[in-house]
């Protein structure tokens, strides 16, 4: 990317101006999008970049528009083909859009070349994991040339530069009220504010596990060595034994600025963060503090849960944890505004040393001898599920993470496996 200035042009529309403190970031982009703590952009040549620290890292592929948010990372290319980042690779989504937005609460939206407006509901957005996944786009009334969503509604502008708001939008009703509210002013584009060196040493040849039974997994190796991995929103991150963080794009890990012993890409909970300290005390940070945390002096009122756990992971149907005795527990009733849930632990049969919850509510864990297990029967009505299924993997595991149809496994030798579930 050429080194230059990223120039922000601010037009005062309504007679009121607000002074901003700005800092120049090296690079040249034609479009930029920020959400869930990440920044993506594309150049005039449709090259895709993401910002880590003060450095732009190029991703594989070519897009004319990119968007990052609670729905993951989405984009559209010059042919108006739609793509979603799944497991560090761009997967084509059925349909045609000239602009796509990932800012909705686990739903996607956008406009096509005829200014028709579409949205994709929560189930299809979160569940989209491969090219043949269903994508039942729903058309909204009206015509817009730009459309962007956030937690309090969706905003758009038409070819006459008029501004409109769609209220009543939810993850399960992405079309909202279907009544546009006209907003004073003129804009040509609008964006929501979601308020709220390769790992060293080894190259792993791809291979497959032989499917000896229904629960076996088809896996292949990814070059690199990591001690911990996490995946969510279509991305994969991890740290190595030297606490160096990496992010995966395509089949190559790229070093990220900083030093961490553990990393999480989507923080698991629905707009809240949770974890355990060195004494196995369990904490969570509610939605308001989580989404508004933007600088070192931002408030972070952690709330302590009862009990003690050595690992804790949250998803849409509750939070799961394991203690030092390898006992498994579930906390139900967890919501963005009540991250402590019912404060009553439900003990689950079995023994595990770590456990992870996927963004779709799937639960996977590893036991003391390195076997991988999946929890069956989890539903909104029955968040505890019904039983454990042992998954046949070619190597012993010490850490797992699941997102969008792929289970990522760190073996006891720090090798990285990507498995189809």
- In angstroms, the CA 153 to CA 168 distance is 7
> pLDDT at residue 8 above 80?
no
Q: Would you place residue 376 in the very low, low, confident or very high pLDDT band (cuts 50, 70, 90)?
A: very high
How much is the pLDDT for 381?
A: 92
How much is the pLDDT for 273?
A: 84
How much is the pLDDT for 267?
A: 53
List for the chain the helix, strand, coil content (%; round to 5).
Answer: 5, 45, 55
> pLDDT at residue 354 above 60?
yes
Residue that wins the pLDDT comparison between 350 and 103? 350
> pLDDT at residue 395 above 80?
yes
The CA distances from residue 129 to 134, 149, 407, in Å, are 9, 22, 12
Assign domain 31-183 one CATH number from 1.20.990.10, 1.10.10.60, 3.40.47.10, 2.130.10.30. Answer: 2.130.10.30
SS3 242: coil
How much is the pLDDT for 45?
A: 94
* CATH 2.120.10.30 domain span(s) along the chain: 218-420
* CATH 2.130.10.30 domain span(s) along the chain: 31-183
- In angstroms, the CA 401 to CA 409 distance is 7
pTM: 0.62
Whether the CB-CB separation of 75 and 81 falls below 8 Å is answered with no
Q: Is 218-420 a CATH 2.120.10.30 domain?
A: yes
Q: Which of 56, 72, 62, 57 is nearest to 105 (CA)?
A: 72
- In angstroms, the CA 256 to CA 226 distance is 14
């Amino acid at each position: 990317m050429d080194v230059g200035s990223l120039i922000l042009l601010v037009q005062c529309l309504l007679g009121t101006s607000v002074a901003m403190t700005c800092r120049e970031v090296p690079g040249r982009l034609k479009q930029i999008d920020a959400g869930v703590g990440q920044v993506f952009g594309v150049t005039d040549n449709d090259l895709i970049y993401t910002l880590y620290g003060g450095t732009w890292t190029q991703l594989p592929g070519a897009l004319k528009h990119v968007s990052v948010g609670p729905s993951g990372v989405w984009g559209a290319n010059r042919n108006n083909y739609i793509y979603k980042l799944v497991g560090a690779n761009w997967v084509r989504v059925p349909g045609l859009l000239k602009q796509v937005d990932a800012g909705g609460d686990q739903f996607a939206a956008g406009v096509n070349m005829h200014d028709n407006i579409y949205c994709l509901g929560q189930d299809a957005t979160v569940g989209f994991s491969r090219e043949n996944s269903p994508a039942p786009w729903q058309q909204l009334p009206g015509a817009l040339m730009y459309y962007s969503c956030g937690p309090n509604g969706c905003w758009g502008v038409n070819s006459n530069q008029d501004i409109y708001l769609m209220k009543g939008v939810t993850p399960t009703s992405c079309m909202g009220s279907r009544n546009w509210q006209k907003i004073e002013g003129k804009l040509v584009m609008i964006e929501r504010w979601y308020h709220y060196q390769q790992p060293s040493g080894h190259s792993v040849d791809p291979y497959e596990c032989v499917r000896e039974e229904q629960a076996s997994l088809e896996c292949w190796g990814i070059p690199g060595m990591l001690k911990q991995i996490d995946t969510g929103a279509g991305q994969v991150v991890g740290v190595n034994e030297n606490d160096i963080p990496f992010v995966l794009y395509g089949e190559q890990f790229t070093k990220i600025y900083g030093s961490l012993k553990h990393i999480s890409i989507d923080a698991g909970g629905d707009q809240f963060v949770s974890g355990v300290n060195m004494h196995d005390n369990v904490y969570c940070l509610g939605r308001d503090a989580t989404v508004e945390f933007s600088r070192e002096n931002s408030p972070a009122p952690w709330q302590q849960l009862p009990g003690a756990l050595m690992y804790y992971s949250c998803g849409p149907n509750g939070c799961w944890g394991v203690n030092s005795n390898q006992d498994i527990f579930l906390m139900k009733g967890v919501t963005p505004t009540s991250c402590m849930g019912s404060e009553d632990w439900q003990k689950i049969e079995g023994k595990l040393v770590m456990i992870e919850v996927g963004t779709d509510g799937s639960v996977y864990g590893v036991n003391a001898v390195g076997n991988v297990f999946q929890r069956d029967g989890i539903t909104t009505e029955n968040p505890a599920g019904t039983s454990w299924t042992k998954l046949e993997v070619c190597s012993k595991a010490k850490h797992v993470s699941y997102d969008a149809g792929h289970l990522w496994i760190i073996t006891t030798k720090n090798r990285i496996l990507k498995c189809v579930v």
